[in-house]
């Protein structure tokens, strides 16, 4: 029995895959990738004799069967997934039959599109004293959401939101955010195909304008919606310097500094 590796391909640019991920692709006897989301360039590390298949048109049972069967024949099998494999994939469902059959699995993290979108837009997801919490979420659709995780309740915290899988219903996202108390003037950033060479597009607008701007730009899929009081921090003329950089602020590792009171 071989080992099945769930490898994060990163958001699109092939050089954003981890070194470990590329090494496993080179070692793999078989690779199953999600063709609808993973850039083909990510397969450049596969060895010439490697069996490569696209799971785009497979159902869950077929993907499970494919991985199990290949694990019987190859020492290393890779399931290549977009971004980070632990977010919005079906890793647990795919791993269960492998676990039951005694096939060892490993997970290699990847750069999530949430991080890639922030980097593409030149933004930070946290800002000292402004927001220190990031929520990864989505609108419900085929995958229903737990009751306590409605976008309205999550958005009411006022912290950073990275909204996956929801760009096709951006109007609903906007309505939920307004219901949660976000101002129509709040800044929103949408990044389409973050880091994909030649295809990345960053749309910036207020909450009131973002849906129209996305439609005008033709952004209807594969996009990350970032909502945060930290957006635009670099442009703020009144931006206060964080206490983190203030010499008077006691810090654990600064000479003479004391840890902040709990
Ligand atoms: N595991 C992935 C998410 C898979 S769900 C990750 O960690 O990024 C697919 C959703 O991720 C898309 O609907 C979109 O919201 C987002 N996404 C994936 N790749 C993206 C990219 N390059 N740019 C912007 N959003 C992306």
> Which parts of the chain fold into alpha helices (H)?
19-27, 60-73, 91-100, 113-121, 151-155, 170-179, 210-217
Give pLDDT, residue 21.
97
Same topology, domains 3-108 and 113-233? Answer is: no
Between the CA of 37 and the centroid of ligand 1 the distance, in Å, is 8
The token pair that represents 173 in the structure block: 């996202």
For residue 72, CA distances in Å to 81, 86, 182, 198, 215 come to: 21, 24, 53, 40, 47
Give the strand order in the sheet containing 51-54. 51-54, 30-33, 76-81, 3-8, 105-108
Question: What pLDDT sits at residue 253?
Answer: 46
**Tens-digit pLDDT string for the chain (262 aa):** 899 999 999 999 999 999 999 999 999 999 999 887 787 888 999 999 999 999 999 999 999 999 999 999 999 999 999 999 999 999 999 999 999 999 999 999 999 999 999 999 999 999 999 999 999 999 987 667 888 899 999 999 999 999 999 999 999 999 999 999 999 999 999 999 999 999 999 999 999 999 999 999 999 999 999 999 999 999 876 666 555 555 555 444 444 444 444 4
Beta pairing, strands 223-227 & 187-192? antiparallel
Give the per-residue pLDDT at 239: 61
Q: In whole angstroms, how far apart are CA 123 and each of 15, 69, 135, 159, 180?
A: 21, 44, 16, 14, 23
Average pLDDT, the chain: 91
Q: Report the atom number in ligand 1 closest to the C-alpha of 113.
A: 8
CA 30 → CA 11, 26, 74, 90, 254, distances in Å? Answer: 22, 10, 7, 19, 50
Cross-strand bridge partners of residue 35: none
Minimum CA distance residue for ligand 1 atom 4: 88
pLDDT tens sequence across 195-227:
999 999 999 999 999 999 999 999 999 999 999
User: Ligand 1, closest atom to CA 86?
Assistant: 1
Predicted pLDDT at 260:
43
Structure tokens at 43: 């397969």
Joined tokens for residue 124: 């930070």
Fold of 113-233: 3.30.950
Q: Where are the domains of the chain?
A: 3-108, 113-233
Contact 227, 155 (CB under 8 A): yes
The closest residue, in CA terms, to atom 11 on ligand 1 is: 164
Of 55, 56, 83, 119, the residue with max ligand 1 atoms within 8 A of its CB, to mutate for a pocket test, comes to 83
The CA 12 to ligand 1 mean position distance, Å, reads 9
pLDDT for 236:
79
Q: How far is the CA of 127 from the centre of ligand 1 (A)?
A: 23
CA of 221 to the centre of ligand 1 (A): 9
Q: What is the pLDDT of residue 244?
A: 52
Nearest-angstrom CA–CA distance, 69 and 29? 12
How many A from CA of 139 to the centre of ligand 1? 14
193 and 203 in contact (C-beta within 8 Å)? Answer: no
Tell me the CA–centroid distance for residue 209 and ligand 1, in Å: 22
Residue nearest to atom 25 of ligand 1 (CA): 223
Q: Is 25:80 a contact under the CB 8 Å cutoff?
A: yes
Euclidean distance between CA atoms 81 and 170, whole angstroms: 25
The rounded Å distance from CA 94 to ligand 1 centre is 19
Structure tokens at 146: 């737990």
Fold held by 3-108: Cobalt-precorrin-4 Transmethylase; domain 1 (3.40.1010)
Residues lining ligand 1, Cβ inside 6 A: 11-12, 82-84, 87-89, 112-113, 116-117, 164-165, 191, 193-196, 222-224
The DSSP annotation for 136-180 comes to EEE--SSSPPPGGG-HHHHHTT-SEEEEES-GGGHHHHHHHHHHT
Of 164, 192, 198, best ligand 1 pocket probe by most atoms within 8 Å of the beta carbon: 164
- pLDDT at 145 (0 to 100): 80
Atom 2, ligand 1: residue with shortest CA distance:
83
How much is the pLDDT for 241?
Answer: 56
């Amino acid at each position: 029995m071989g080992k099945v590796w769930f490898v994060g391909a990163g958001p699109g640019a092939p050089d954003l895959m981890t070194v470990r991920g590329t090494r496993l692709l080179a070692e793999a006897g078989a690779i199953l990738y999600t063709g609808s989301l993973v850039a083909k360039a990510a397969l450049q590390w596969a060895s010439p004799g490697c069996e490569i298949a696209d799971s785009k048109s497979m159902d869950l049972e077929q993907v499970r069967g494919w991985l199990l069967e290949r694990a019987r024949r190859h020492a290393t099998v890779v399931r290549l997934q977009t971004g980070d494999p632990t977010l919005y994939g079906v890793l647990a469902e795919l791993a269960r039959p492998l676990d039951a059959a005694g096939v060892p699995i490993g997970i290699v993290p990847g750069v999530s599109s949430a991080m890639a979108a922030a980097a593409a837009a030149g933004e930070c997801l946290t800002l000292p004293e402004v927001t220190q919490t990031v929520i990864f979420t989505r609108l419900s659709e085929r995958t229903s959401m737990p009751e306590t995780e409605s976008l309205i309740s999550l958005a009411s915290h006022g912290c950073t939101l990275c909204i996956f899988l929801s760009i096709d219903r951006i109007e609903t996202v906007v309505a939920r955010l307004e219901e949660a108390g976000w101002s129509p003037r709040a800044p929103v950033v949408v990044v389409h195909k973050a880091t994909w060479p030649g295809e990345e597009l960053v749309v910036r607008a207020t909450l009131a304008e973002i849906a129209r701007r996305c439609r005008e730009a033709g952004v209807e899929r594969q996009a990350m919606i970032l909502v945060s009081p930290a957006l635009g921090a670099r442009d703020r003329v009144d931006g206060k310097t964080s206490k983190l950089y203030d010499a008077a602020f006691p810090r654990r590792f600064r000479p003479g500094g004391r840890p902040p009171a709990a």
